Amino acid sequence: MKFHLKVWRQKDSNSEGTLEDYTAENIPANASFLEMLDIVNNSLTGKDVQPIQFESDCREGICGTCSLTINGVPHGPGRGTTCQLYMRSFHDGDTITIEPFRADAFPVRRDVVVDRSAFDRIIQAGGYISERGGSAPDANAVPISKTIADKAMDAAACIGCGACAAACPNGSAMLFVSAKVTHLGLLPQGKPEADRRVLGMVRQMDKEGFGNCSNYYACEAVCPAGVPAAFIGRMNREFTAASFKEMVGMTV
C-alpha cells in the first residue's frame, strides 16, 4: 500500500511548526500505524533526513503513550489507541494528516511529541490512596458490591493518554480527572480522602490550563478505554459538596 503523509514537524517548543509531505510506500495492510511510521523513518534515515519524532511504548493499547492526531481525530478512526490502528483501515493512495495532540496544557516538544506531565501533576495532587489498606488478604476481605466494583473498574480503565483533552473544543481534562476521582472514590479504601482528592485534583487541573466541560461529549467519543462522560457529573457533585464543607469549616 502507498500513502501520502502530511506530518507536523516542529524543532522544539519555541519554534514554529509546519506540515511536511512524505510518501509511505510498500506498507503491508496488516502493519500498525506506528509500524508504518517506523518504515517511513527507516527510509528517512537512509536519506540522511531527521526521522519523525513520535512517542510509543507498549504498542498494545495499555500504556497510553502513543498520542497522534490522525486526520483531525485523536488516535484516528475507530475507538482504539494509535498503536491499535492498522493500515487496512485506510485506502491505498489515501492522504493522511498526522499532528500532535492539541491542548494548551500539552506543549509540543518536537514534531508530534507533546509534554503530558500536567497529568502527572494532577495525579500528584490527589490521585492516590495514602490510607493503609492492609495486605492483599485484608483488602480482599472488604465487601464491595458488584455494581460498585464494576463502576470503579470502568473508571480505572482510563490509561491517561490525553485524547479527551485533545478532542475537547475547550481543551478540558475533566474526563481524565473524573475517571481517577471516581475510580478511587467509589472504593472503601478511597473514601476517607475523597474530599481532599477531588478538591486537589480539580484545582490542579485548573492551574495546568485545561478548560472546563461544556458537554460536547467529544471526549467520550474518542476515549480508547470507553470511559463514560457521566463520571464528569459525578465528579462535579463531589467537588461541590467538598467545596461547601471546606467553606463552612468542616474537615476536608
CATH code, 203:
1.10.1060.10
Does one domain contain both 157 and 195? yes
Q: Is residue 7 part of a domain?
A: yes
What is the tens place of the pLDDT at every residue in 229-250? Answer: 999 999 999 999 999 999 998 7
Q: Is residue 14 part of a domain?
A: yes
What is the tens place of the pLDDT at every residue in 170-220? Answer: 999 999 999 999 999 999 989 999 999 999 999 999 999 999 999 999 999
Question: Residue 252: which pLDDT band, with cuts at 50, 70 and 90?
Answer: low
Does one domain contain both 20 and 100? yes
Strand pairing class (68-70; 95-100): antiparallel
Q: Would you state the cell numbers that stand for residue 157, as one nine-digit string?
A: 480503565
Q: Is residue 252 part of a domain?
A: no
Tell me the β-bridge partners of 98.
Answer: 7, 70
The count of domains in the chain is: 2
Does one domain contain both 241 and 164? yes
**For residues 128 and 126, what is the distance between their CA atoms, to the nearest angstrom?**
6
Does one domain contain both 133 and 66? no
What is the tens place of the pLDDT at every residue in 65-108? Answer: 999 999 999 999 988 999 999 999 999 999 999 999 999 999 99
Q: Any idea what DSSP says for residue 50?
A: P
Does one domain contain both 109 and 120? no
**For residues 214 and 167, what is the distance between their CA atoms, to the nearest angstrom?**
13
Does one domain contain both 145 and 230? yes
Which of 168, 37, 170, 175 lies closest to 113 in space, CA to CA?
Answer: 37
What is the tens place of the pLDDT at every residue in 103-161? Answer: 999 999 999 999 999 999 999 999 999 977 677 777 678 889 999 999 999 999 999 99
Query: In terms of residue numbers, what domain contains 154?
Result: 116-247
Strand pairing class (113-114; 73-74): unpaired
Cα dihedral 103/170/217/8 (nearest 10): -30
Final residue in a domain of this structure, among 71, 91, 113: 113
Does one domain contain both 76 and 157? no
Element (H, E) at 95: strand 95-100
Does one domain contain both 240 and 120? yes
Q: Is residue 45 part of a domain?
A: yes
Final residue in a domain of this structure, among 75, 97, 113: 113
Q: Are 46 and 137 in contact (CB under 8 A)?
A: no
- pTM (2 decimals)? 0.93
Final residue in a domain of this structure, among 113, 146, 169: 113
pLDDT at 171: 97
Q: What are residue 186's phi and psi, to 5 degrees?
A: -80, -25
